[in-house]
A and B are shown apart, each in its own frame.
Chain A
């Protein structure tokens, strides 16, 4: 049996119906604020029990992809990301919504997810086991260097005013430093509030600095009714949209899949790297936020990276049996219910089930596209509600989403405080994207560095001498130096 046989089974009409039902359910639940894929799959998992394995897996695959796409939808339309993987999508995606191109953003996200998910699934079948072994070699030291590279790349998103961008990044790192230090267990910046011991959820930071502060800022400028918001925009991708999206999808996939396969990888790094890469390569630098109307590559790349990295996390899960994200952990439980035993011999031993699973993923992904492209039209209408009601709804949904994360009043207080801080920040003229990026990357960088140092028994030299670390660090330095040179040249050029 191979993937083709699996596809033939998955394409039976009954199974297609299951896939459609799954995609619809997943999208419906995943689109709710604060409900990410892990929670959606966990909530809907009981619905798949009692089905025969193939139907169950197809339903599950539909739910999984539906939930991921649902999260992107709220990011693009309302600036409310449902999970950390779609934070980056919100940056250009919501800018496109505000300039009347929500339809285009949703379409490139949907098709990009499909392309990346399908390529990712095919890659699991072909290079999965080999990649799993390679990915394990990425230890804490290499992962820290990878984040250094991300920081170097991020200098492009600091904006036109590098000092203010740096201040924003520092603020984000400061917010990220709140809570128990994972390595030593010491509390930092918690001010005696026990609920802060676990740190501030990155979703709360993103919702506060993106959605809440923007509503406040628009109320402040009295500029709350951008005419374009009323249109929603064309649903289909134009010829130019395709031309600009396709390379971004492919680059996003190339970044997302291998990085997703690294244990402790997650989707934050690949989506961010894809964003920074697209911005660097873009032939339309004037379209990017904060000054432009939003660039399609900034949605296409990160969305593809997100879905490819989701496929990547399936590599260690299937080939080694280790779930590296919350969603993978829930999926693993489900797959074991169907009798699938992950491990190095998975592809030889449990062949039929594996091929059925991979085929289910392809079909579920395709079904999502079938379901969502027509829906895009309806979604964009949501964005064309009158601004007064739109912002009122956004603020209520932001509080609901925040509450849903941990059911904590302290989180709501943090949301209100950071939202207000984010507003002041904008009034001061500082960019908010680096704040969120700092809060996202800071804790990761620190954890990986500390782990690397513990493993090396405190010896910095030993950390930096590892070949992977040395290469990546050199690359990061080169990127940073390159950025400085470009900036200096631009400064010397007469205005």
Chain B
């Protein structure tokens, strides 16, 4: 190319130009449509959580008593902060997020079902029943979408001050595995007891889809131990990728914003992942404390 003496075939030159132009158009379109998606999702979240944000509850006049008592269901506890135009200070953000986390936990603790608390500050995931922590997992690695940082603080507070309900799962392991056994017809037929193999654990990859499309992924921190495990993980990932690519192509065809999912991925030990997944109900509440 650039060399005056070179005689690269014309078809190759034109093909290169066509492919480069096409690629630039495709990449440009993808960039444009992908940049648009988070903005649209953010607007949708703000719209969904608007009713709560728009009506700040008027504080009752303080009585002389210095004792502050906040009932979880009282109006005072539901008060949302007024967000100053110039933003929220880091300290204020931290303490209000903590407040939202505790409010949300209180709601979950009132129910009978097991629920999850995710503390991103301590990097701890806990399983709780009725306000009692029954299982604790420390995660060393995680991936968190920057989406939460881009949301207006009042929307974020509103979202996190209530438990986030997850009711849609996809996983590489089964939630409840029942082994079917036909009873013997007589004593002679009574089989010897067959001990179930509880040591075998399939790879643990779990995706939970929650309120407003927020996704939490639990992935095992260990590398796959066998070829079979590797295949299972690849199949799980491939399925997800295939769905994504189809969605992307459909959006490009219609020139719509590409799908965007705010996501949190936690890498937990395999055994803990299994315990958590099997213990949570099909409709689980999650309380999240952001950094």
* A and B physically associate: no
Interface residues of A, Cβ cutoff 8 Å to B: none
